[in-house]
């Protein structure tokens, strides 16, 4: 109902008075009150596509610059490098998001981390094994809690290696391995938790002091044909991932002590066999890995993950060489240990 004043104004200018409620702000813009306008939805989609494309480029940069991730404090750099092969899983994840958004921009941007991953690991996927070689070696962390050391010994003996290096031996298990391997490996030496078994005579056997307790030893293997080889059996200190970060201090110190021993090693041909508790790409192990080559990297097929044996996710067991040529590298079947054994065939 109009007030007398409104009725008089209407009668004066000849314009009918409004009969309904005044328009709201949304009505005046013409947008649908039930949801955002098509223009606004398109703008949000374009923004999401740009964010996804940016994330792909950033992920590629982080992968490519992994050596620059700082290691101070929680050792984030070492942890990232340990898990570096798995960064490739980001590629299919980003591709799925690009498909959901139907974004060509994001799909093209995902090529960046894909190219970086292939650059880093594509060569490792090729089969680089070849014939030849005159010395076959095997390394295995046999696991102190292994419920079947005799069965593990049989698996190792079946590999037909010339030299075995075993880590994480207990007094009881060392006796079992000595008994089970005696026929195939008449020469052996055990010091603390590591041991070397060989088909050929051993000389110059000694402990390598890398930690307060024995975790490394050295021996010269003298085969009847070919030059002698200095063989190291090594078990670097364990690492942990906890609220304090990636705790690697003791391992890193042990690696520096091992590197010092290798610098002083006079033999021109050296093989380091063992559980490094870190990957070849972990910069903290550079004092060792910068002086030795990985048999898996040069003559393997695939990434050669060794731990945990039930679902290998990282390669922390390795065969490293100096003055020798890797011809083939591979992992052996699982034993009662939580690690897989690693093997390599080398030319002296």
User: Which residue range(s) make up the domain with 76?
Assistant: 38-125
Structure tokens at 28: 């005046």
Give pLDDT, residue 15: 45
What does pLDDT average to over the chain?
91
Whether residues 205 and 326 share a domain: the answer is yes
| Helix, strand, or coil (residue 268) | coil
Tell me if 159 is assigned to some domain: yes
Which of 125, 156, 177 is a domain's end point? Answer: 125
Based on the structure, what is the number of domains in the chain? Answer: 2
| Helix, strand, or coil (residue 243) | coil
Whether residues 247 and 156 share a domain: the answer is yes
Mean pLDDT of 115-139: 96
Tell me if 10 is assigned to some domain: no
pLDDT at residue 218 tops 70? yes
Whether residues 89 and 227 share a domain: the answer is no
Is the preceding omega at residue 123 within 30 degrees of 0, hence cis? no
Q: Which residue has the higher pLDDT, 343 or 23?
A: 343
Tell me if 22 is assigned to some domain: no
Tell me if 238 is assigned to some domain: yes
Q: To which H or E segment does residue 346 belong?
A: strand 342-347
The answer to whether 112 and 64 are in contact (CB under 8 A) is no
Give pLDDT, residue 8: 46
Mean pLDDT of 276-284: 96
**Per-residue model confidence as pLDDT tens digits over 169-203:** 999 999 999 999 999 999 999 999 999 999 999 99
> How many CB atoms sit inside 10 A of residue 62's CB?
16
Sorting pLDDT into bands at 50, 70 and 90, what band is 237?
Answer: very high
Give pLDDT, residue 35: 60
Whether residues 104 and 153 share a domain: the answer is no
Percent of the chain with pLDDT over 70: 90
We report the CATH number of the domain holding residue 142 as 3.60.10.10
Give pLDDT, residue 2: 46
Q: What is the pTM of this model?
A: 0.85
Whether residues 172 and 271 share a domain: the answer is yes
pLDDT at residue 3 tops 70? no
**Per-residue model confidence as pLDDT tens digits over 65-97:** 999 999 887 899 999 999 999 999 999 999 999
Whether residues 218 and 252 share a domain: the answer is yes
Whether residues 106 and 142 share a domain: the answer is no
Residue 233 C-alpha from the chain's centroid: 22
Structure tokens at 26: 């949304």
Mean pLDDT of 137-162: 97
**Per-residue model confidence as pLDDT tens digits over 294-322:** 999 999 999 999 999 999 999 999 999 99
Tell me if 214 is assigned to some domain: yes
**Per-residue model confidence as pLDDT tens digits over 14-27:** 444 455 555 544 44
Mean pLDDT of 95-101: 95
Tell me if 4 is assigned to some domain: no
The answer to whether 125 and 338 are in contact (CB under 8 A) is no
**Beta-strand pair 229-235/270-275:** parallel
The answer to whether 233 and 217 are in contact (CB under 8 A) is yes
Whether residues 155 and 250 share a domain: the answer is yes
Sorting pLDDT into bands at 50, 70 and 90, what band is 234?
Answer: very high
Whether residues 320 and 225 share a domain: the answer is yes
Cβ neighbourhood burial of 289 (10 Å; 0-12, 13-18, 19+): buried
């Amino acid at each position: 109902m109009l007030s007398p004043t409104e009725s008089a104004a209407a009668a004066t200018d000849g314009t009918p008075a409004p009969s309904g409620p005044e328009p709201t702000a949304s009505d005046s813009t013409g947008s649908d009150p039930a949801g955002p306008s098509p223009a606004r939805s398109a703008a949000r989609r374009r923004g999401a596509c740009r964010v996804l494309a940016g994330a792909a480029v950033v992920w590629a940069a982080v992968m490519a610059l992994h050596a620059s991730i700082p290691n101070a404090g929680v050792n984030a750099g070492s942890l990232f490098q340990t898990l570096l092969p798995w960064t490739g899983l980001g590629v299919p994840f980003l591709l799925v998001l690009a498909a959901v958004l139907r974004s060509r921009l994001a799909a093209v941007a995902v090529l960046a981390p894909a190219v970086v991953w292939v650059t880093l690991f594509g060569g490792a996927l090729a089969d680089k094994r070849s014939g030849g070689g005159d010395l076959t070696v095997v390394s295995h962390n046999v696991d102190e809690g292994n419920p079947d050391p005799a069965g593990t010994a049989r698996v190792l003996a079946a590999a037909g290696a010339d030299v075995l290096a075993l880590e994480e031996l207990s007094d009881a298990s060392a006796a079992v391995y000595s008994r089970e391997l005696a026929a195939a490996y008449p020469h052996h030496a055990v010091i603390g938790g590591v041991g070397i078994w060989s088909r050929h005579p051993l000389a110059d056997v000694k402990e390598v002091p890398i930690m307060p307790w024995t975790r490394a030893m050295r021996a010269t293997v003298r085969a009847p044909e070919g030059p002698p080889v200095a063989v190291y059996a090594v078990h670097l200190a364990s690492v942990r991932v906890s609220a304090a970060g990636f705790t690697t201090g003791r391992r890193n110190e042990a690696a520096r002590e091992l590197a010092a021993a290798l610098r002083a090693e006079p033999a021109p041909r050296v093989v380091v066999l063992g559980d490094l508790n870190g990957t070849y790409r972990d910069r903290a192990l550079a004092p060792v890995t910068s002086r030795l080559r990985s048999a898996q990297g040069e003559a393997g097929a695939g990434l050669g993950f060794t731990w945990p044996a039930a679902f290998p996710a990282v390669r922390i067991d390795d065969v490293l060489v100096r003055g020798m040529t890797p011809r083939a590298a591979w992992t052996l079947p699982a034993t009662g240990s939580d690690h897989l054994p690693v093997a390599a065939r080398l030319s002296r």
